[in-house]
Structure 1
């Protein structure tokens, strides 16, 4: 009888210990109040925005509708921005759309139509598909893969697209790789702190690559990440 009780007590102790261990790996106290969005200059965050851009900039693979009011023959629906950043419109020809806002492109089209085509044209441009916005989520997540996302999606939202981290994910070791005109940058985040609201939840950019738990990376990347503080420090590599 005593041996049976001891066995049950031992099993219960192990179960509690395991539960506590899992909880320690995957959770953190939620901070009540304003979520941290502080950018720390000493950690290279000065140029890293936590806010969604108010004016969306068109990129290749985005799809737009161009409406010229009272001119259906000049209007085009479902028009993709080419890999060269150019679109083609009736009577106008090729126009560079990449790098412009929807309003900026509509003004550019209006200006071109005003030259020997229409008198006082009225043009509207709407983005109907953010085809340029793809994020790769891999590592210790339930459903690794490449996912489309809407502008303004944050790290937490991107990981949710992959059905969240696995039960054994090392949440303190989340790497974000980002391609820029200056090269590839890497950042390290403590995802448990992000979920708790005590660390910046960064806005994702097109073609970001997220690795949850760095054990899936090569030894080179694992060694590099160990040298970075978990403070959203973007480092050029």
Structure 2
């Protein structure tokens, strides 16, 4: 799932944020939150957030899926686990490579194999029961920092909730999300209260995202860094 982001200098980002602020509420598009985006608002940085609906999540080892072959219950499988090599063993067709495929892609592959061996015009659906190959890291001023399973469509607020919320010493306007895209690292800063109020984008996370919740207990270097990241929810290349 590629992340398409143009390189943005902090000065340009700050200027864009200031321009949005100065236009006033009357002409600024109403913020649209997370996956409910119907029309992308570039001035809100929404093109920077690519959601991962369940149907487009890439499968990986240890993920659990269910496979339904229409009108063929003997060929259907419930709660099959992708093994460490990324494979599934299915009735009649044997081993199938599942890792790296979306549920839709895997369904098409199984349909093709069934059509070549057993069924005429098979119809297959694949649903995710549990996806554990995707992880997100939450650290800093949260109650229970750690590495958490990332379900498709999980938003930033959801990851913070998994970490049992901000701690008492958290700086609520200093949430940094780090995201790797190819060889480059990007960062965006968010405000917890603004997300809760619905006035700031609550972004859909991607596998591998790292969330750092600011606190005065962080090193001075971290505090200085978080203060310099523009607070407009737009990823900036480091």
Q: TM-score under structure 1 normalisation?
A: 0.70
Q: What is the Cα deviation at residue 132 of structure 1?
A: 2.5
In structure 2, relative to structure 1, the CA distance for the partners of 1:36 and 1:133 (3 Å cut) is: same
Partner residue in 2 for 1:37: 32
Task: Work out which of the two has the higher radius of gyration on C-alpha atoms and give 1 or 2.
Answer: 1
Question: After TM superposition, where is structure 1 displaced by more than 6 Å over at least 4 residues in a row?
Answer: none
In structure 2, the residue matched to 1:64 is 65
**Does the 8 Å CA contact 2:136/2:147 hold for their aligned counterparts?**
yes
Q: How does 1:17-28 map to 2 (within 5 A)?
A: none
How many Å apart are 1:71 and its aligned residue? Answer: 5.6
Deviations 1:49-108 (A, max 9, x none): 4x6637332321322122344362x44443333566544435535444345432332122
TM-score by length of 2: 0.69
Which segments of 5 or more consecutive residues in structure 2 lack a partner in the other structure? 1-28, 34-39
Alignment of 1:134-213 (within 5 A): 134-213=135-214
Deviates more, 1:141-150 or 1:62-71: 62-71
| SS across alignment from 1:126 | strand
Contact 2:111–2:123 (CA under 8 A) maintained in structure 1: yes
What value does the CA root-mean-square deviation take over the aligned residues?
Answer: 3.2
Change (3 A) 1:236 1:217: farther
Instruction: Indicate the SS of the match to 1:115.
Output: helix
- Indicate the residue corresponding to 2:112 in structure 1: 111
| Pairs aligned (count) | 203
Structure 1 stretches of 5 or more lacking a match?
1-33
